[in-house]
């Protein structure tokens, strides 16, 4: 078999090997079914067990309160960029506040503006999105329909260490790149949504955790597939869901529960992994430069530049040569980025750390 | 390995075994990539080749003219039930005509009504959707924004043998359950859309073939993920697409091209398969009863009832016992349904035919 590399891709990202192995084993025929999971009815007994387990796993890991729906939708986080304002802003007679700490928050705001009065209550573009706001910097409208944040900006590696205080307005959060990376208090959120392809599964499924009363506000002038209330009433089965992607979510969350038990333990490992890389960066005497300010450094995405930009290309090429893949940074930040989601083993980060130390020594 | 059955599921449906086998072989690491296809960037060289091949295969099989976009979207046909009127009806100042020949057309019309003046230009609900309209029965508005049809109604097994004449209005077609089943003249359509999970791949990806001038009409007051024009400009990569599902579309269309060459040949096989079952039904002396009228019988879905409804349960149970699975009909039609999409081998249909003949003989 082809040798697997350590995959630092920001997403679609590395998946746990045991989940892939189980999927591979059963790909032609699920035990007891005689057909592939891709070939079975989404209303069959076997698939019902799969989707119910996936939801139960998420509820257990995130301690999701009972008054929240857990939906498996399609379209990625960007479909939520549209659905959130279509459901909660367009007919509300209110405005919505967006706290913009990176590229994805900016895109979410732009999509919301097509639906109504969406405004930036904070925007860190003047410092190339390297920070989160102080409480005093937030220009919040107390009557906002909701306040939107991006808990972890994948490109800039900027992560809220905890939820900002946004008053009484429902907090809506794009948690695409840090969901399941550490514990969160779901009861603080009105909506928590995440595309799967970083920490939850493959691309093609989006997890939307929404408080029941907010789902109930869905206006009538939307088609059913865009109304949270209809989707919740249909329990993600209003039409054929992305069955294979949901099956992978089950396998990934099975693995997380089996391997780590809970998100406290997962967070401990993620802090250890990210800490190793930030230590190399901070201890490099300026050879490697971080992007995010220290108080909001992401435990999932570690963007960094080489002070000598001419070394970017050799760094990436040599890293690739020793099986450390997909480390190129996003063009808006430059340099490199190590995405180290749950499925990245400690050994992979140790290998990258050692490579970085070695590369700095040779090229200092 | 678990024994595979003949799977007559209406969808998610049987996939070609060679496509599943290739996916299984490479599931942990794509040759040359060192990561699973689920773990690679949608902008990587390897995935670019996959999505471009999937599109090229579809263009070749369906002879799609150059002035049509081919989009790989999410949300299934039901998302298109909403997107079509959001893009083409809501701001048009016109009405839209729906030719309703079954359950799915009815749902498409209901979704469109949330967006504007959508009307039934024909509705066969009075005969439990067992027929297509005569030309004289169509009450078309010559100024309609578009005319919508469902080329094959999966539940009722009612299929248009050819496109109805709808005048100058763009023809929009839900072809979910017969796309790639036989040749069609794409140039007759404004939009041809299809969820994948019958003839094209697994659930989680939707193929939308749209004429460029219609995509260009997308209004500005929609979020980008719902605007055909933005999705076309982004070449299905505006955000992370359902990469694994698109990979499966590539494998399925690779297989179709390799095994059958073109849709003329595929249609010949599909006519042979469906003909075998209709012959059993017609020759059963009323033991088996068809649903659709003879001039619009589907080559993909063959619904039938047993005249003695008490025999439904034993029929399904005995069939299941000999590896003929998922034959239960939809409750709105009752009885049984054999969905025999492209991936159902002739041998599977022969086995069902023989079982039906035998069951009729034993229970007549």
Interface check A167 vs B, CB under 8 A:
no
The answer to whether residues B136 and B279 belong to one domain is: no
Nearest to A177 by CA among A12, A335, A364, A49: A12
B211 found inside a domain: yes
- pLDDT at residue number A246: 98
Q: Which residues from chain A sit within 8 angstroms of residue B242, using beta carbons? A: 74, 202-204, 242, 245
Task: Count how many pairs of residues, chain A against chain B, have C-beta atoms within 8 Å.
Answer: 237
Domain boundary among B259, B289, B316: B259
Interface check B42 vs A, CB under 8 A:
yes
Residues of B (127-156) whose Cβ lies below 8 Å from A: none
B4 found inside a domain: no
CA distance A253 to chain B (A): 16
Render the burial of A92-121: b for 16+ CB within 10 Å, e for the rest.
bebbbbbbbbbbbbbbbbebbbbbbbbbeb
**Residues β-bridged to residue A87:** none
A64 found inside a domain: yes
Q: Which residues from chain A sit within 8 angstroms of residue B243, using beta carbons? A: 12, 202-204
CA B171 centroid distance within chain: 17
Nearest CA in chain B to A30: B2
The answer to whether residues B151 and B56 belong to one domain is: yes
- pLDDT at residue number B332: 83
- pLDDT over 90 at B281, yes or no: yes
3-state secondary structure labels for all residues of chain B: CCCCCEECCCCCCCCCHHHHHHHHHCCCCCCCCCCCHHHCCCCCHHHHHHHHHHHHHHHHHHCCCCCEEEEEECCHHHHHHHHHHHHHCCCCCCCEEEEECCHHHHHHHHHHHCCCCEEEEEEHHHHCCCCCCCHHHCCCCCCCCCEEEECEECCCCEECCCCCCCCCCCEEEECCCCCCCCCCCHHHCCEEEEECCCCCCCCCCEEEEEEHHHHCCCCCCCCHHHCHHHHHHCCCCCCCCCHHHHHHHHHHHHHHHHHCCCHHHHHHHHHHHHHHHHHHHHCCCCCEEECCCHHHECCCEEEEEECCHHHHHHHHHHHHHCCEECCECCCCCCCEEEECCCCCCHHHHHHHHHHHHHHHHHHC
Interface check B78 vs A, CB under 8 A:
yes
Q: What number is the ipTM of this complex? A: 0.98
- In Å, how far are B55, B275, B305 from B6, measured between CA atoms? 29, 18, 20
Select from A36, A234, A251, A319 the residue whose CB has the most chain B CBs within 10 Å, as the one to mutate to test that interface.
A36
Integer Cα distance of B92 and A252 in angstroms: 45
Give A232-237's long-range contacts (Cβ < 8 A, gap of 24+): A232/A69, A232/A71, A236/A51, A236/A71, A236/A72, A236/A73, A237/A42, A237/A43, A237/A51
Interface check B231 vs A, CB under 8 A:
no
Q: Which residues from chain B sit within 8 angstroms of residue A231, using beta carbons? A: none
CA distance B46 to chain A (A): 13
Average pLDDT (B209-228) is 97
Number of structural domains (chain B) is 2
Interface check B105 vs A, CB under 8 A:
no
The answer to whether residues B207 and B342 belong to one domain is: no
Q: Which residues from chain A sit within 8 angstroms of residue B14, using beta carbons? A: 35, 39
The answer to whether residues A77 and A200 belong to one domain is: yes
- Domain of B58? 18-259
Q: Are A243 and B13 within 8 A, CB to CB?
A: no
The answer to whether residues B72 and B176 belong to one domain is: yes
Integer Cα distance of B290 and B302 in angstroms: 8
- In Å, how far are A96, A121, B187, B201 from A135, measured between CA atoms? 18, 11, 58, 49
Select from B5, B17, B31, B39 the residue whose CB has the most chain A CBs within 10 Å, as the one to mutate to test that interface.
B39
Interface check A21 vs B, CB under 8 A:
yes
Interface check A239 vs B, CB under 8 A:
yes
Q: Which residues from chain B sit within 8 angstroms of residue A38, using beta carbons? A: 12, 15, 20, 202-203, 248
Q: Which residues from chain A sit within 8 angstroms of residue B20, using beta carbons? A: 27-28, 36, 38
- How many other β-carbons are positioned within 10 Å of the β-carbon of residue A186? 17
Nearest CA in chain A to B108: A223
Nearest to A73 by CA among A203, A254, A178, A211: A203
Residue pointed to by tokens 């130390």:
A357
Burial of B201 (0-12, 13-18, 19+ CB in 10 A): buried
Integer Cα distance of B216 and B229 in angstroms: 5
Contacts of B338 (CB under 8 A, 6+ apart): B8, B277, B301, B302, B304, B327, B349, B352
The answer to whether residues A100 and A193 belong to one domain is: yes
Interface check B41 vs A, CB under 8 A:
yes
Domain boundary among A259, A283, A303: A259
Interface check B20 vs A, CB under 8 A:
yes
At B337, which CATH number?
Answer: 3.90.1150.10
- How many other β-carbons are positioned within 10 Å of the β-carbon of residue A65? 13
A9 found inside a domain: no
Beta-sheet pairing, B301-306 with B288-290: antiparallel
- pLDDT at residue number B1: 61
Q: Are A242 and B9 within 8 A, CB to CB?
A: no
Integer Cα distance of A95 and B222 in angstroms: 17
A1 found inside a domain: no
Q: What are the two backbone dihedrals, phi and then psi, of residue A108, each rounded to the nearest 5 degrees?
A: -65, -40
Select from B20, B203, B329 the residue whose CB has the most chain A CBs within 10 Å, as the one to mutate to test that interface.
B203
Domain boundary among B198, B227, B259: B259
- pLDDT at residue number A199: 97
Q: What are the two backbone dihedrals, phi and then psi, of residue A243, each rounded to the nearest 5 degrees?
A: -65, -45
Residue B6 and residue B351 in contact, taking contact as beta carbons nearer than 8 Å: yes
Average pLDDT (B195-220) is 97
Residue B97 and residue B140 in contact, taking contact as beta carbons nearer than 8 Å: yes
Integer Cα distance of A211 and A65 in angstroms: 9
Contacts of A268 (CB under 8 A, 6+ apart): none
Residue pointed to by tokens 């082809």:
A2
Contacts of B8 (CB under 8 A, 6+ apart): B14, B324, B325, B326, B327, B337, B338, B339, B340, B344, B348, B352
Q: Are A225 and B24 within 8 A, CB to CB?
A: no
- pLDDT at residue number B336: 97
Integer Cα distance of B178 and A251 in angstroms: 32
A182 found inside a domain: yes
Interface check B104 vs A, CB under 8 A:
no
- In Å, how far are A16, A54, A56, A275, A342 from A259, measured between CA atoms? 10, 16, 17, 21, 11
Integer Cα distance of B206 and B228 in angstroms: 13
pLDDT tens digit sequence for B154-201: 999 999 999 999 999 999 999 999 999 999 999 999 999 999 999 999
The answer to whether residues B251 and B130 belong to one domain is: yes
The answer to whether residues A215 and A246 belong to one domain is: yes
The answer to whether residues A200 and A271 belong to one domain is: no
Nearest to B209 by CA among B59, B1, B69: B69
- In Å, how far are A75, A247, A312, B116 from B225, measured between CA atoms? 8, 25, 34, 20
Residues of A (181-220) whose Cβ lies below 8 Å from B: 195, 197, 202-205, 220
Interface check B116 vs A, CB under 8 A:
no
Q: Which residues from chain A sit within 8 angstroms of residue B38, using beta carbons? A: 12, 15, 20, 202-203, 248
Angle between helices B346-363 and B312-321 (to 10 degrees): 130
Residues of A (280-319) whose Cβ lies below 8 Å from B: none
- In Å, how far are A55, A150, A191 from A211, measured between CA atoms? 15, 18, 6
Between B1, B39, B248, which is nearest A7 by CB? B39
- pLDDT at residue number B2: 74
Q: Tell me the torsion sign for CA atoms A240, A245, A246, A247.
A: positive
The answer to whether residues B232 and B280 belong to one domain is: no
Q: Are B221 and A115 within 8 A, CB to CB?
A: yes
* Catalytic site includes residue A104: yes
Interface check A331 vs B, CB under 8 A:
no
Residue A112 and residue A83 in contact, taking contact as beta carbons nearer than 8 Å: no
B13 found inside a domain: no
At A150, which CATH number?
Answer: 3.40.640.10
CA distance B114 to chain A (A): 5
Give CA torsion, residues A290, A292, A293, A295, to 10 deg.
-120
The answer to whether residues A194 and A113 belong to one domain is: yes
Nearest to B111 by CA among B80, B135, B142: B80
Percent of chain B with pLDDT over 70: 100
Residue A72 and residue A54 in contact, taking contact as beta carbons nearer than 8 Å: yes
Enzyme catalytic residues of B:
104, 174, 198
Q: Are B5 and A81 within 8 A, CB to CB?
A: no
Nearest CA in chain A to B18: A28
B10 found inside a domain: no
Angle at Cα B285 formed by Cα B282 and Cα B291, nearest 5°? 45
Residue pointed to by tokens 């496109």:
B163
Q: Which residues from chain B sit within 8 angstroms of residue A86, using beta carbons? A: 223
The answer to whether residues A224 and A280 belong to one domain is: no
- The token pair that represents B137 in the structure block: 């029965």
Reported as a pLDDT band with limits 50, 70 and 90, residue B10 is: very high
Residue A342 half-sphere exposure, CB side, CA atoms within 13 Å?
33
- pLDDT at residue number B364: 87
pLDDT by residue for chain A (364 residues), tens only, comes to 678 999 999 999 999 999 999 999 999 999 999 999 999 999 999 999 999 999 999 999 999 999 999 999 999 999 999 999 999 999 999 999 999 999 999 999 999 999 999 999 999 999 999 999 999 999 999 999 999 999 999 999 999 999 999 999 999 999 999 999 999 999 999 999 999 999 999 999 999 999 999 999 999 999 999 999 999 999 999 999 999 999 999 999 999 999 999 999 999 999 999 999 999 999 999 999 999 999 999 999 999 999 999 999 999 999 999 999 999 999 888 899 999 999 999 999 999 999 999 999 999 8
Percent of chain B with pLDDT over 90: 98
- pLDDT at residue number A334: 86
Interface check B326 vs A, CB under 8 A:
yes
- pLDDT over 80 at B85, yes or no: yes
**Residues β-bridged to residue A192:** A173, A209
């Amino acid at each position: 078999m082809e040798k697997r590399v350590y995959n630092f891709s920001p997403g679609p990202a590395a998946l746990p090997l045991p989940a892939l192995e189980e999927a591979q084993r059963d790909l032609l025929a699920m035990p007891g079914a005689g057909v592939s999971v891709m070939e079975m009815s989404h209303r069959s007994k076997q698939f019902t067990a799969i989707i119910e387990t996936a939801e139960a796993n998420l509820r257990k890991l995130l301690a999701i309160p009972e008054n929240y729906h857990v939906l498996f939708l399609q379209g990625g986080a960007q479909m939520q960029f549209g659905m959130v304002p279509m459901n909660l802003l367009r007919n509300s007679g209110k405005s919505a506040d967006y706290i913009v700490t990176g590229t994805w928050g900016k895109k979410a705001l732009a999509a919301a503006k097509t639906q109504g009065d969406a405004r930036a209550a904070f925007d860190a573009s003047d410092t190339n999105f390297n920070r989160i706001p102080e409480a005093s910097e937030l220009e919040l409208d107390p009557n906002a329909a909701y306040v939107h944040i991006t808990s972890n900006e994948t490109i800039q590696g900027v992560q809220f260490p905890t939820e900002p205080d946004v008053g009484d307005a429902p907090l809506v959060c794009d948690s695409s790149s840090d969901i399941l990376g550490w514990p969160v208090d779901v009861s603080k959120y009105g909506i928590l949504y995440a595309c799967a392809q970083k920490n939850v599964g493959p691309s093609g499924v989006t997890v939307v955790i929404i408080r029941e009363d907010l789902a109930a506000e869905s206006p009538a002038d939307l088609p059913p597939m865009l109304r949270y209330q209809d989707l919740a009433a249909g329990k993600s089965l209003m039409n054929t869901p992305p069955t294979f992607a949901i099956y992978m979510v089950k396998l990934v969350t099975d693995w997380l529960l089996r391997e780590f038990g809970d998100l406290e333990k997962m967070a401990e490992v993620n802090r250890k992994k990210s800490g190793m890389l930030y230590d190399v960066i901070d201890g490099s005497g300026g050879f490697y430069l971080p992007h995010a300010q220290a108080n909001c450094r992401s435990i999932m995405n570690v963007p960094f530049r080489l002070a000598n930009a001419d070394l970017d290309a050799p760094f990436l090429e040599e890293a690739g040569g020793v099986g450390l893949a997909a480390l190129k940074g996003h063009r808006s930040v430059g340099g490199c980025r190590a995405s180290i989601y749950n499925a990245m083993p400690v050994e992979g980060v140790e290998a990258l750390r050692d490579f970085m130390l070695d590369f700095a020594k040779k090229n200092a």
